[in-house]
Amino acid sequence: MLGSDARGPIEAGQLDTVPWNHPGSDAVVEFSTDELTAFCPVTGQPDFYVLRLSYRPAGRLLESKALKLYLWGFRDKGAFAEDLAATMLEDLVAACEPRGMTVDLTQKVRGGLELRTVVRHGEG
């Protein structure tokens, strides 16, 4: 996706990665956004999320533009917060094969409740 003229969301299989040239270092890469949206699969109401993603790269890094476009794709999908977090973890782990990854997803208050789901893979 980097360098391309992308005009819409992408699927998980289109996530780009770039080489991590420091595999011996103990690095943590973190992304965060409060612009993630999806909708409730039961009511159709929009859900707004805060995403905190962190991972320990092995050989590949997630390319940030591709990640933005991937996240954009959830705005038209119905998903419960717990399933959304688990789906993201599976997709992102498959894309970059990190040593560890944590998806920390908070659904903003709706109906008086805030919902937080944290899912992990490997050496978080």
- Residue 21 C-alpha from the chain's centroid: 23
| Region class of 69: left (phi > 0), else alpha (psi between -120 and 50), else beta | alpha
List 26, 47, 76, 104, catalytic entry: 47
Closest C-alpha among 58, 110, 67 to residue 92? 67
The 3-state secondary structure of 81-111 reads HHHHHHHHHHHHHHHHCCCEEEEEEEEEEEC
Question: Is residue 34 annotated as a catalytic residue, yes or no?
Answer: no
Mean pLDDT of 45-59: 96
Question: Is residue 40 annotated as a catalytic residue, yes or no?
Answer: yes
Residue type, position 50, single letter: V
Condensed to tens digits (0 to 9), the pLDDT of residues 79-124 reads 999 999 999 999 999 999 999 999 999 999 988 999 999 999 997 5
Q: Is pLDDT of 75 > 70? A: yes
Q: What's the pLDDT at 111?
A: 82
Q: Is pLDDT of 30 > 90? A: yes
Q: Is pLDDT of 2 > 60? A: no
What's the residue count for the chain? Answer: 124
Average pLDDT score over the chain: 93
Structural domains of the chain ordered from first start: 28-122 (3.30.1130.10)
